[in-house]
Structure 1
Amino acid sequence: MRENEARFLNVKPVDVPVLAVTGGKGGTGKTTVAVNLAAALSMKGLSVLLVDADVDCPNVAVLLGIELKNGEEIRFFKPEIDEEKCVRCGKCAEVCLEHALVHAKDAVPAFFEELCSGCGACRLVCPVDAIKEGYKVLGKIFSSKTGSLEVVTGELRLTEARSPLVVKATKDYAYKMAMHGGYDLIIVDTAPGIHSSVVRALQGADFALAVTEPSHLGAHDLERILQLGKEIRISLAVVLNRADIPSGIKSRIYGLCDSYGVEIVSEIPFDEELLKAYVNRVPVVQYNLKCPSAQALSTLADYVSRRLG
């Protein structure tokens, strides 16, 4: 990726530190880390806005025992062609970078909704104003609060394919809240993987934590995330969850991080108290602060506060 492209990815519209919590492999505890960091920092007196940008399967509300209600629709422009006005010139199809509009000679352009990005360029170039402004609903955004912790959740509509657009809309909503909310920190929980929705969620982050586990799959997918971090030029550190499981490849994780010049900043042990907290839908740092996993997460919260403070 060229330097100017990477610089664009790291632009944010608010003067509030942004931490992204990510991870290549699903099930490593990424959302658990994000939720407990937000809770721990809130307990330490910081005003934290937690953003669930895993829009395909958002789980932050589940872990916090929040019921999502009265979501705001995420609407994007969709062209509606007036066939009586259309002069079949094809200019709309010419400017459609997504090829959502296809023009055949002397025919009204065909529209492929699943490809449309909602940019509206087609409507702007139409010489006879034959394209009306319709819209499609891509998903919903929910704003909720539990205790002193505020949460923004993005949710993709079922069967919809444009999850990066929903991620962007969710983050834009959170940024608008941050412009007026006096937050000390924004924490963004990304989807697992390295696809475009993850890149969109990482956009604007000052720092990212990649959560992994000492397993062969964990090591493989961690390397993909480290490669992505290098490609988009984002500062990364690693959190090793379930660090004490007898896998035999912990040293491989450390060697991998060394090869990329990335630090492992926390080891979170396997802890039955964390499982109990999960069942009770409460962050473990609130459920039992004295247990080993909560202590590790609280220490990690101190690190984040120093790093981004």
Structure 2
Amino acid sequence: MTFRLAVTGGKGGTGKTVVAVNLAAALSARGFKVLLADGDVDGPCTSILINAKLTESKPVKIFKPLIDRDLCKPCGSCAKVCREHALAFMEGAPPILFEELCSGCKACQIVCSYGAIKEDSKTIGFLHSAQAGPIRLKIGELNPGEARSPIVARELKLEVDEELKRGDYDVMIIDTSPGLHNAVVQALWGVDLALVVTEPTPLGLNDLFLILDLLSQLGIEAWVVLNRADIPGGIREKILEACRLRGIEVAVEVPYDEELFKAYVRGEPLIKSSIHTPARQALMDLASKVEARIKPSS
């Protein structure tokens, strides 16, 4: 049985992807077969941080109505049923499609009594496969300007499930989008453990509460990773106290470390660096804790 782990966090920019990539690299180095998924479909970057090579891409498509003007009897039924207001209707003329608003639900096609709405498709994003040494990557990417991230996130999860059936993976790590929106829920669904990456700032604390509430509602076990724990003026003690009151484990505290940024620029996980720093050690400690959590399930 593959252990499924999510790296998430309510606030953007806390270091989720850095944690996900380093954890994947550390577990892989310890002999685990790892599948790393990038569910931050609005801005995926795991492949950059782990220097992965793309091996395959396939489009994510949704239904788009194609209006046959010869068959259309301008009745307006399709426009009335469109919840997204993607079809504009004026008396006596076929409807006009505003493509960027269409969600692909097919309601217009279903209600059309004249068969005037044919099936067309629109590419809203891509699913990429990549390889970084022994680590397999699955990446969801939404096209710029599109607003249907949950659809791409859902397709990514389906692709991940298929990959898990094909390969004998020990652990699947998914890096989610920041926030608490639909695409985040899609990525979190069905995981065994969530690592919530936060920072010692007021906004970090506020969003930590929000994501912990969501995980509680989903019934998902949560650990907190406190990144940049020692920044000047930070509210580290408030974060630790909030976690203590909620009974949430703070798995590790990762100190601010310029070597992390240098590794980021090089496109390699910090744990592969020959330079031993407190941040590198914290990430290795996190891998040890996750390894201990995985082993009873394997």
Assess same fold via TM > 0.5: yes
Match of 1:136 among 99, 122, 127: 122
Report deviation, 1:70.
5.3
66-75 or 214-223: bigger deviation:
66-75
Q: In 1, Cα distance between the equivalents of 2:68 and 2:54?
A: 38
Equivalent position to 1:293, from 268, 279, 292 = 279
Give the SS at the match of 1:71: strand
Q: Measure the CA separation in 2 of the matches of 1:135 and 1:81.
A: 13
Residues 101, 37 of structure 1: alpha-carbon distance in 2 compared, 3 angstrom cutoff: same
Other-structure match for 1:44: 30
**Quick one: distance in 1 between partners of 2:73 and 2:251?**
62
**Equivalents in 1 of 2:218, 2:91: separation in Å?**
42
**Relative to 1, partners in 2 of residues 1:128 and 1:305: Cα closer, same or farther, differing over 3 Å?**
farther
Task: Name the amino acid aligned to 2:72.
Answer: C
Contact 1:213/1:240 (<8 A) preserved: yes
From 257, 260, 264, the counterpart of 2:246: 260
Offset, 1:166: 1.5
Quick one: distance in 1 between partners of 2:112 and 2:158? 29
Q: Does 1:177 align with 2:163?
A: yes
Q: Separation in 2 of the partners of 1:283 and 1:122?
A: 48
Percent sequence identity over matched residues?
49
Rounded to whole Å, the distance in 1 between the matches of 2:98 and 2:7 is: 35
Rounded Cα–Cα distance in structure 2 between residues aligned with 1:225 and 1:116 = 30
Q: Which residue of 2 aligns with 1:197?
A: 183
For these two proteins, the number of residue pairs brought into alignment is: 295
- The alpha carbon displacement at 1:253 in A equals 0.1
Q: Using a 3 Å threshold, how does the CA distance of structure 1 residues 180 and 69 change in structure 2: closer, same or farther? A: closer
Deviates more, 1:160-169 or 1:119-128: 119-128
Structure 1 residue 155 and structure 2 residue 127: aligned?
no
1:5 aligned partner: none
Contact 1:226–1:260 (Cα < 8 Å) also in 2: no
TM-score normalised to the size of structure 1?
Answer: 0.85
- C-alpha deviation, 1:137, in angstroms: 0.9
1:279, CA displacement in angstroms? 2.8
Matched residue, 1:277: 263
SS at match of 1:142: strand
Amino acid at match of 2:264: Y
TM-score w.r.t. length of structure 2? 0.88
Displacement of 1:43 in angstroms is 1.0
Matches within 5 A, 1:82-97: 82-93=68-79, 95-97=81-83
Q: 1:304 aligns with which of 267, 280, 290?
A: 290
Question: Superposition RMSD on alpha carbons, in Å?
Answer: 2.4
Aligned partner of 2:65 in structure 1 is 79
The alignment partner of 2:267 has SS state of coil
Deviation at residue 195 of structure 1 after TM alignment: 2.5
CA 1:231–1:100 in structure 2 vs 1: closer, same or farther (change >3 Å)?
Answer: farther
